[in-house]
């Protein structure tokens, strides 16, 4: 089984790095959209090996980080109910809501279970007809289709005690919002390869043309990242702004039609709040009317949620690429993985956690006097 080594080969990496070094003539700022890419970059020290002129800005593509506090609090409330079995992917359990997390709910007697597939949650629902089984449906275009399929299955099989707490988000509207921000420094994007493997590349040419930014569909292993950077830098140096596929082994231009069909059947596009960022129009999915009985928010009246966020956390700016994690005053001091202020420090894909875990030895916290550390406030928008 050689799926990994060949994409981490040091010799091939060196050649790609040499090529990037030879190509770059001036500074460029690239955003890797996905938290998985951030993780690879920091874990393998790729940012240390790139030319100084190539700055990698970490984007909002961590599903754990961007799930709004309000939804987490709804999850905590639902999971606390005695008649509920609450199922979730593992990394959501540690994300703090207002004052507690799902681990804590479990320690207080809540039936919170880690599953590896939403279908496992459906199985639990069949095995526990006297309980309400809720699956925490978060994530991007990658996790949305299997979650959609699970709801589809539940309806088809008449499993009425299964519902989905939905907080799915879509990448292209987030890119649009980032590019529209006056503080934006991003000149090119490494698009998330797994998102494109589902959705295809059709959503990107318009974005690339409208904002004159190259968008390179990029994978997740070290060589994938370097290849993506190379494509983006080449385009920038030539003054081009097209969509490249540097992840052709996984991404077809049309994506996965079956997955897209499933999404269209079960979900409908909606405005969605991104934690730390605010509401981005059309950036999410919710269950469509036909599947409303499987919508946990509809089934459980989780109202009167009062969220409370610490003022010193700047993860919203980190998620937008406006500051680096160590440019937050709380980084490594009042905010660590042990005592996280924000989801970007909790999630294993979060940029703050990646910086703290892998890079804190050579990082000096940068204070607010840094010119980038306090970007000019933008016009008002709803913040959730």
Partner 1 sequence: MSETTTLDVTGWTCPAPLRDRPRVVMGHGGGGALSAELVQHLFAPAFGGEVLAQMGDAAAVTLGGARLAFSTDSYVVRPLFFPGGDIGDLAVNGTVNDLAMAGARAAYLSCGFILEEGVEMSVVARVARSMGAAARAAGVEIATGDTKVVETGHGDGIYVNTAGIGLIPDGVDLRAQRVVPGDVVIVSGEIGLHGVAIMSVREGLEFGVDIESDCAALGGLVEAMLAVTSDLHVLRDPTRGGVAAALNEIAAASGTGVVLQEGKVPIPDPVANACAILGLDPLYVANEGKLVAFVPREHADAVLDAMRAHPLGRRAAVIGEAVESHPGLVVARTGLGGTRVVDLPLGEQLPRIC
* Residue 80 to residues 37, 184, 333, Cα–Cα distance (Å): 34, 41, 32
When binding is defined by CB under 8 A, the residue of 281, 290, 292, 333 that contacts partner 1 is: 281
Q: Is 282 in the site for partner 1 (CB under 8 A)?
A: yes
Q: Is 4 in the site for partner 1 (CB under 8 A)?
A: yes
Q: What is the DSSP string of 231-265?
A: HHHHHHHHT---EEES-TTT--TT--HHHHHHHHH
Binders of partner 1 among residues 104 to 163 (CB under 8 A) are 104, 106-108, 114, 116, 120, 138-140, 142-143
When binding is defined by CB under 8 A, the residue of 125, 154, 213, 277 that contacts partner 1 is: 277
When binding is defined by CB under 8 A, the residue of 205, 339, 367, 370 that contacts partner 1 is: 339
When binding is defined by CB under 8 A, the residue of 21, 29, 49, 305 that contacts partner 1 is: 49
**Those residues with Cβ within 8 angstroms of residue 8's Cβ, 6 or more apart along the chain or in another chain:** 44, 221, 222, 223
User: x-or-dash pattern for partner 1, window 198-237, by CB under 8 A?
Assistant: ------------------------x---------------
Minimum separation from the CB atom of position 189 to partner 1 (A): 16
Which span sits near partner 1 by CB under 8 A: 45-53, 161-169, 232-240, 289-297?
A: 45-53
Q: Is 380 in the site for partner 1 (CB under 8 A)?
A: yes
Q: Is 70 in the site for partner 1 (CB under 8 A)?
A: no
CB 28 within 8 A of CB 54: yes
Using the minimum distance from each CB to partner 1, give the nearer residue, 127 or 180. Answer: 180
Which span sits near partner 1 by CB under 8 A: 148-156, 173-181, 230-238, 243-251?
A: 173-181
Joined tokens for residue 224: 């994938």
Rg value, the chain, Cα: 21
Q: Is 266 in the site for partner 1 (CB under 8 A)?
A: no
Binders of partner 1 among residues 299 to 328 (CB under 8 A) are 308-311, 313-317, 320, 322
Using the minimum distance from each CB to partner 1, give the nearer residue, 214 or 222. Answer: 222
Q: Characterize the bridge pairing of strands 278-287 and 162-169.
A: antiparallel
How many CB atoms lie under 10 A from the CB of residue 237? 13
Minimum separation from the CB atom of position 132 to partner 1 (A): 21
In the chain, DSSP assigns E strands to 28-34, 54-61, 84-88, 111-114, 132-139, 162-169, 188-192, 215-218, 243-245, 267-274, 278-287
Q: Is 26 in the site for partner 1 (CB under 8 A)?
A: no
* Residue 58 to residues 4, 114, 162, 198, 210, Cα–Cα distance (Å): 23, 28, 36, 22, 22
CA separation for the pair 166, 172 (Å, rounded): 19
CA separation for the pair 112, 134 (Å, rounded): 10
Q: Is 284 in the site for partner 1 (CB under 8 A)?
A: no
When binding is defined by CB under 8 A, the residue of 21, 100, 152, 155 that contacts partner 1 is: 100
Q: Is 166 in the site for partner 1 (CB under 8 A)?
A: no
When binding is defined by CB under 8 A, the residue of 255, 276, 284, 325 that contacts partner 1 is: 276
DSSP class of residue 375 equals: P
Which span sits near partner 1 by CB under 8 A: 24-32, 75-83, 170-178, 290-298?
A: 170-178
């Amino acid at each position: 089984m050689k799926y990994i080594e060949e994409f981490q080969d040091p010799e091939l990496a060196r050649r790609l790095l040499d090529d990037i070094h030879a190509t770059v003539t001036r500074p460029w700022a690239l955003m890797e959209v996905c938290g998985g890419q951030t993780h690879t970059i920091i874990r393998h020290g790729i940012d240390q090996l790139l030319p100084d002129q190539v700055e990698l800005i970490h984007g909002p593509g961590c599903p754990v980080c961007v799930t709004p506090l309000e939804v987490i609090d709804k999850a905590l409330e639902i999971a606390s109910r005695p008649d509920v079995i609450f199922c979730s992917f593992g990394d959501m359990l540690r994300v703090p809501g207002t004052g507690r997390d799902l681990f804590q709910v479990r320690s207080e007697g809540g039936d919170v279970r880690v599953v590896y597939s939403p279908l496992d949650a459906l199985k639990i629902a069949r095995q526990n007809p006297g309980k309400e089984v809720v699956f925490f449906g978060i994530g991007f275009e990658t996790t949305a289709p299997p979650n959609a399929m699970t709801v589809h299955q539940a309806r088809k099989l008449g499993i009425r005690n299964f519902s989905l707490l939905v907080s799915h988000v879509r990448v292209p509207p987030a890119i649009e919002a980032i590019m529209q921000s006056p503080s934006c420094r991003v000149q090119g994007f490494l698009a998330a390869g797994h998102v494109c493997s589902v959705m295809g590349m059709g959503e990107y040419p318009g974005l690339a043309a409208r904002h004159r930014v190259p968008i390179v569909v990029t994978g997740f292993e070290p060589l994938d990242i370097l290849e993506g950077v190379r494509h983006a830098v080449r385009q920038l140096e030539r003054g081009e702004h097209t969509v490249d596929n540097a992840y052709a082994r996984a991404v077809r231009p049309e994506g996965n039609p079956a997955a897209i069909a499933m999404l269209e059947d079960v979900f409908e596009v909606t405005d969605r709040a991104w934690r730390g960022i605010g509401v981005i129009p059309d950036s999410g999915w919710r269950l469509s009317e036909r599947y409303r009985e499987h919508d946990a928010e509809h089934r459980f009246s989780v109202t009167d949620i009062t969220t409370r966020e610490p003022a010193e956390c700047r993860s919203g700016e980190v998620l937008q690429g406006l500051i680096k994690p160590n440019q937050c005053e709380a980084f490594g001091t009042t905010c660590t993985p042990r005592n996280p202020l924000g989801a970007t420090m909790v999630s294993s894909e979060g940029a703050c956690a990646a910086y703290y875990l892998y890079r804190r030895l050579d990082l000096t916290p940068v204070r607010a006097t840094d010119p980038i550390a306090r970007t000019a406030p933008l016009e008002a928008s709803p913040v959730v």
